[in-house]
Amino acid sequence: MNPLKIGQHTIELPIVQGGMGIGVSWDRLAGTVSLEGGLGIISAIGTGYYQNMQYAAKVINSRPYDTQNLYSFEALKEIVKNARKICAHKPIGVNIMCAINDYSRVVADACKSGIDIIISGAGLPTNLPELTKNFPNVALVPIVSSAKALKIICKRWTQRYGRVPDAVVLEGPLSGGHQGFTYEQCAMEEYQLENLIAPVKEEIREWGDFPLIAAGGIWDKNDIDKAMALGADGVQMGTRFIGTHECDADEVFKQVLIEAKKEDIQLLKSPVGYPARGVRTNLINLVDKREGPAIKCVSNCVTPCQRGKEAKEVGYCIADRLADAWKGKRESGLFFTGANGYKLKEIISVKELLHKLVNGE
């Protein structure tokens, strides 16, 4: 496998560990992946929960109060600092969803925390270069689900900022968490990852020469080889990294995945406005009957939710449920996973996992 070049950074292995919020990829996971030669990505989502919420200035009902405490700058700085203690000066990134409230501020926080790379999706990061202009060394990587989305980004970035992305993550519909597709599209042949790589590669050529990182449903070396053969320069993997000792989520989270059967993994409605893939636990059955936990909107997490309006429509608060999953609360947690999550059978170290991915054992 060839190294992956993202801006001025060289990643020994072309394997990116996808950012996973809330709390699934923080300092321990991301730091270790970077140490071992991949690219570790810290999730900037819900950092106010980090280390028993000690960095959140105000906590109500055991939740970080309002956006500035949910996305705590102090906590993000600490997470990046602690990840650096693990990986030293190897490149490390942050994932920031465009859909969060305070997106611009959190991008600035990530830059000030000394991050090397920002990966950003769940919406189009059309003004990301503007938000990072004082940090020219931070590499910028949008996540897209189509050649059309990449075209829009490249056009805007070229016209307004005279630059193109340093790499692009192309995420197909087998990925964990939020999808860049409708429910119908997720099942359609033409939207499967293997059919999106060529058109996106072609779009990249229109604008220059930056790497394509394929994501969604990549499980083993065979899948990596297939993506590379189709034209990818690297892969981003999420779910497989949940099955590591270093994954920052509670052991119960890992256990829920180990116990999940193929049919338990489904597309679910989300207040973010996109379908999201997760495990159908008892929580989802309760939500369907409108008997889920109360929706209080303490943390004011994402713009599309409109301060709890969408949460009430859909039947649950996304920030509260994802935080509970991270804490290992089986009954009230929402456990995101990719479509291959049922393949998870054991918890191994990041080092062992990367060895398997490279050597195919």
C-alpha gyration radius of the chain: 19
Q: Ramachandran region of residue 63, left (φ > 0), alpha (ψ -120 to 50) or beta?
A: beta
**CA-to-CA distance for 144 and 22, rounded, in angstroms?**
21
Contact 315, 292 (CB under 8 A): yes
Spell out a b/e string for 169-179, using b for 16 or more CB atoms within 10 Å of the CB, else e: bbbbbbbbbbb
197/134 Cα distance (integer angstroms)? 33
Q: Which of 23, 31, 91, 121 binds ligand FMN (CB under 6 A)?
A: 121
336 binds ligand FMN (CB under 6 A): yes
Are 23 and 64 in contact by the 8 Å Cβ rule? The answer is: no
**Does position 118 bind ligand FMN by CB under 6 A?**
no
Cβ closest to ligand FMN, residue 19 vs residue 64: 19
Q: How far is the CB of 159 from ligand FMN (least distance, A)?
A: 25
Give me the least distance between CB of 35 and ligand FMN, in Å please: 19
C-alpha dist (Å) from residue 350 to 12, 34, 248, 294: 15, 10, 12, 37
Residues 167-196 that bind ligand FMN (CB under 6 A): 171, 174-177
- Contact stretch for ligand FMN (CB under 6 A) within 146-154, 222-230, 261-269, 333-341: 333-341
Q: Indicate which single residue of 337, 342, 344, 347 sits in contact with ligand FMN (rule: CB under 6 A).
A: 337
Of 160 and 232, CB closest to ligand FMN: 232
CB 85 → ligand FMN: shortest distance, Å? 23
CB of 162 to ligand FMN, least distance (A): 26
Distance CA(268)–CA(254), nearest Å, equals 19
Separation of alpha carbons 1 and 199, rounded Å: 23
Q: State the number of binding residues for ligand FMN (CB under 6 A).
A: 30
What is the distance between the terminal CA atoms of the chain, rounded to a whole angstrom? Answer: 15
Give how far Cα 206 sits from Cα of 23, 154, 164, 231, Å: 37, 9, 11, 15
The reply to whether 281 sits near ligand FMN by the rule CB under 6 A is no
Minimum distance between the CB of residue 27 and ligand FMN, rounded to whole angstroms? 16
Out of 6, 13, 39, 43, the only residue in the binding site for ligand FMN (CB under 6 A) is 43
Q: Applying CB under 6 A, which of residues 24, 110, 150, 347 lies at the interface with ligand FMN?
A: 24
Q: Quick check: 97 binds ligand FMN (CB under 6 A)?
A: yes
Sites for ligand FMN among residues 240-259 (CB under 6 A): 240
Angle between helices 221-229 and 193-207 (to 10 degrees): 50
Q: CB-based burial of residue 331 (10 Å sphere; 0-12 exposed, 13-18 middle, 19+ buried)?
A: exposed
Q: Which stretch binds ligand FMN (CB under 6 A): 14-22, 59-67, 105-113, 146-154?
A: 14-22
Residue 117 C-alpha from the chain's centroid: 13
* 3-class secondary structure, 232: coil
**The binder of ligand FMN chosen from 56, 154, 212, 215 (CB under 6 A):** 215
Burial 132-148 (b: 16+ CB within 10 A, else e): beebeebbbbbbbbbbe
Considering only residues 127 to 146 of the shown chain, the ones binding ligand FMN according to CB under 6 A are 143
Using rule CB under 6 A, residue 238 touches ligand FMN: yes
234 binds ligand FMN (CB under 6 A): no
Contact between 101 and ligand FMN (CB under 6 A)? Answer: no
Q: Binding to ligand FMN by residue 95, rule CB under 6 A?
A: yes
Q: Is 236 in the site for ligand FMN (CB under 6 A)?
A: yes
Residues that bind ligand FMN (CB under 6 A): 18-21, 24, 43, 45, 95, 97, 121-122, 143, 171, 174-177, 215-218, 236-240, 336-338, 340
